[in-house]
A and B are shown apart, each in its own frame.
Chain A
Amino acid sequence: MPEMVYQLPDARGHFGPYGGSFVAETLVPALAELSAAYQQAQADPAFRAEFNYDLKHYVGRPSPIYHAQRWSALLGGAQIYLKREDLNHTGAHKVNNCIGQAMLARRMGKPRVIAETGAGQHGVATATVAARYGMECVVYMGAEDIKRQSANVFRMKLLGATVVPVDSGSKTLKDALNEAMRDWVTNIADTFYIIGTVAGPHPYPMMVRDFQAVIGEECKLQMPEVAGRQPDVVIACVGGGSNAMGIFYPYLDVEGVELIGVEAAGLGLATGRHAAPLTANSRVGVLHGNRTYLMQDENGQIVETHSISAGLDYPGVGPEHAWLKDSGRARYVAVTDDEALAAFHALCRLEGIIPALESAHALAYAAQLAPTLARDQILLVNVSGRGDKDIHTVAEKSAIEL
């Protein structure tokens, strides 16, 4: 990477006061082994070459950047450009990271991979890559999420993965993560845990960011070609925050580019039924191996979150986002279920693109921001995934009969 001023995390995975490695003793050596293997792989040109080859020929990268002209014109302000991660194989940005981690698993001689999934996109991507590499694959998914993402559950099964429903706690993404951690600690010798977001203990937040950084790296090359210059604002949705870190990271040292992460305001921040720990200024705490902003009660118990989008329905956020918020380099906002839904429909009808409900949050904020800016301003929005998986949710919420 060319002369980045930004050098985080430190050797033990800290982004300022955030991140780290808060795990039970059994996992400590496994994480040390993983860190060492990752460091070695990074230094190996053959690893990077194979990663790039797979991104190109298997995923279909680079994903294009598309000027949403009709939508921009309708909104009557800034020009909106879309980074089309929805066009990747498996339909979302998640696959970038899965290829990297599966390659690492293979290098480390681990024949079995496990994953947690919320919306199912990370589960599908993991199952896909596991099928291709001939690895056993087990995906943990909250029972609640299995209900709202049945198409992705079927895809994972088609790909040969075992999908394990998680009935504990709130039966969503955080509980799936707990269960995957339990599996890992039990089967640590032969199992690689492919975490899907920029959270978890070190080195996961760094490693996932690095694998996803291809999104922003491409944008930096594509924007001058497509729009004549770099964007004024980059917008991405944030649950755990992997697609956002992927597009933000290469722009961190680019002056004049504003970075905005969009969280899920659910039914509204004031209702408490949301998944926006950064925007709501939740208390900092420790969960899932890292220190970050966390939605919790006064006793430190993690509270149930709500979002129309399963992929954003998470009480924490990647530690690097916590750091970027505090440092002011990125700004975090939240949009409600209804606002996301409206943006979802707008993109379908005006641009012929069905975005994931997660990505619709980023689009919804772009729709709020664009009219306040001049027509020569440029917004770059990460369309992190496609919305086929969400058709049942959207039909139900929008009272459409299938």
Chain B
Amino acid sequence: MLCSIPASRASSSWLNRLRASKGFPVPSDLDLEQFLRPSSIPNPTSPPPELDVAGLLSARPPRSRKKHPPLVDPPAPGKRIGDDEELQLFDLMRNALSDLFVMGDPRDLAARRKGLRKQMNPRACVPSASASVDCGASRAALETPPSSADNSVAEAQKGRTKMRKRGTGGQAADSDLSAYSRTEVTVIDTSSSAWKSEKALYRKGMVWKVREKKVGNFCRKKRRLGLGEKIADKKRVRPLADLKGRDLCAKLESQDERCTLIDNGANAKEFVDHCQMPRRPKSWRSPRLPQKSSSPSKSSLPFRLQVIAAKK
């Protein structure tokens, strides 16, 4: 939002609305530059300052609060100094804006009016990708991208510090993965409880992010757990259609991303049903297949239906 603030009076109506919404007064002769100057800081008695500043900063990542502590810069000589609250409010405002733009020294703000209107070096607001490279890792330090993690201890430690400041900023980082290439991978890891898992892998250069794909177990084969299941397994007749259905599931999964994002049981069940629907073509069964005495007079279709019913 703030990126698009022009300093012209012509379009000040929305700016006034913004100011009003944030609790700042809306004088008719106040433009952005005056607003930014220490001398033009409005009377702090009218709005509740703490509340406003907190509201303004809440839109930004928490790290900026640590990165820009209030009252860092001493006031420039010759500058008209207001009371402490005014100065604090100004610094917070400046910090908020300088986190989004490369602002330069505020002391020569007046000398570079045009530079303020049009940012010469806009800072990219993309959340850092090193934030949540992996989910569930215990040591955030080692989740820095390989460019730093692989190369030096110093950089690894730097990354560690950054991660601490960022805290749980993973969700914010999730929102912008458009710059990343996406690859779907099937990973087998014998150290995880379910050996096989589907993951979405995002890559930008040397930065990798991994996200779990929430897939139901509808494509996995039932595992043997105990004697009861073993007996059931013995009775089980697994027609090849089942296998074909599974293959089809896998194909659907890879073709349509939405299929893989289902995470509730109802949807998963729906897919089970869909997976069972496809039947092998009639020509699959060889006419030379010897007919066994167990089903001599039955056609293949009723037999299959019977199997499915038994399974349910």
**A and B: real partners?**
no
> Could you tell me which B residues sit within 8 Å of A by CB distance?
none
Chain A contacts to B: CB under 8 angstroms:
none
